[in-house]
């Protein structure tokens, strides 16, 4: 493994001087156009294991589009080494169809299926639609419902700027939820840190989902990650600029930068 990590705990750290842990990878792995440039001749059935040998974690993107069976999660767990971790992108039914309304049934369903990952599930990302404006009451009800899934950490990716204020940040801090730092060309980034978990999604710019990150940009992100780690925060960084195969390249470069900085 390129970054050694320790078992995940959902409890907040008690000391700001305790070092955090870095989890670096890509958003998804099942991309046929990565064949050759990244996977080489590796057969598709081994692609997850291939990634697990190079990254310290991976964000599952498929869960956003389709609920996965518990057995599928268990298969992914068994295909990866003990220290490897997963983040999953929560299904869009609650975030996009229901707009967070009546959240508890969907949270329980997602939670019960994801138990197939066992201790390897480190975080859950809840991505909100770009046209969903700020609704603090709805966010508060959702945050309270997440208390029924305490075994993992949670992050919310806001894509409308109306959410970017201190009241929303305060709600997230109160419930121990991370504000996802989402870098893209098509929506603004909110650089708020609201918990001892920092969750970053790098979608690419100037072309969202496609553009690669320059060496200078990756050095800046490595500096930010090191700063958060030094504050005792766990940091997840996932590259979602997969359309032209840049995601795995950039993830490996960030890992190399972090290793070189100790």
In a domain, 114, yes or no: yes
In a domain, 141, yes or no: yes
In a domain, 241, yes or no: yes
In a domain, 66, yes or no: yes
In a domain, 42, yes or no: yes
In a domain, 210, yes or no: yes
pLDDT tens, per residue, the chain with 262 residues: 334 333 333 334 434 457 899 999 999 999 999 999 999 999 999 999 999 999 999 999 999 999 999 999 999 999 999 999 999 999 999 999 999 999 999 999 999 999 999 999 999 999 999 999 999 999 999 999 999 999 999 999 999 999 999 999 999 999 999 999 999 999 999 999 999 999 999 999 999 999 999 999 999 999 999 999 999 999 999 999 999 999 999 999 999 999 997 6
Number of domains in the chain: 1
Q: Does the global pTM surpass 0.85?
A: yes
Q: 55 CB contacts (<8 Å, ≥6 apart)? A: 2, 3, 24, 25, 26, 251, 252, 255
In a domain, 4, yes or no: no
In a domain, 206, yes or no: yes
DSSP secondary structure code for residue 27 in this structure? B
User: Coil, helix or strand for 234?
Assistant: strand
Q: Can you tell me the distance from the alpha carbon of 197 to that of 231, in angstroms, rounded to the nearest whole number?
A: 11
Q: Can you tell me the distance from the alpha carbon of 153 to that of 87, in angstroms, rounded to the nearest whole number?
A: 9
Q: Can you tell me the distance from the alpha carbon of 38 to that of 211, in angstroms, rounded to the nearest whole number?
A: 17
Where in the sequence is the domain holding 188, given as residue range(s)?
22-260
Q: Can you tell me the distance from the alpha carbon of 15 to that of 87, in angstroms, rounded to the nearest whole number?
A: 24
Instruction: Read off the CATH number of the domain in which 249 is found.
Output: 3.20.20.410
Distance from the Cα of residue 21 to its chain's centroid: 14
Report whether 146 contacts 175 (CB < 8 A).
yes
């Amino acid at each position: 493994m390129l970054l050694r990590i320790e078992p995940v705990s959902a409890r907040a750290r008690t000391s700001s001087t305790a070092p955090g842990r870095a989890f670096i990878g890509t958003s998804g792995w099942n991309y046929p156009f990565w064949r050759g440039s990244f996977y080489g001749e590796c057969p598709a059935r081994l692609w997850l294991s291939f990634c697990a040998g190079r990254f310290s974690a991976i964000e599952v993107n498929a869960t956003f589009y389709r609920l996965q069976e518990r057995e599928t999660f268990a298969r992914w767990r068994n295909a990866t080494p003990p220290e490897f971790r997963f983040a999953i992108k929560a299904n869009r039914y609650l975030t996009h169809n229901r707009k967070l309304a009546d959240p508890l049934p969907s949270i329980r369903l997602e939670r019960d299926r994801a138990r197939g990952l066992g201790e390897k599930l480190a975080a859950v990302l809840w991505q909100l639609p770009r046209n969903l404006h700020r609704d603090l009451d709805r966010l508060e009800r959702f945050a309270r419902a997440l208390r029924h899934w305490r075994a993992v950490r949670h992050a919310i990716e806001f894509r409308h700027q109306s959410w970017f204020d201190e009241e929303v940040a305060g709600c997230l801090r109160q419930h121990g939820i991370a504000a996802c730092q989402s870098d893209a060309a098509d929506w603004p980034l909110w650089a708020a840190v609201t918990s001892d978990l920092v969750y970053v999604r790098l979608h690419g710019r100037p072309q969202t989902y496609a553009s690669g990150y320059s060496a200078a940009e990756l050095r800046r992100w490595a500096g930010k990650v090191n700063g958060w780690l030094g504050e005792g925060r766990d940091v997840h960084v996932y590259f979602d600029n997969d359309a032209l195969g840049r995601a795995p390249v950039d993830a490996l470069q960030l890992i190399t930068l972090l290793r070189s900085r100790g």
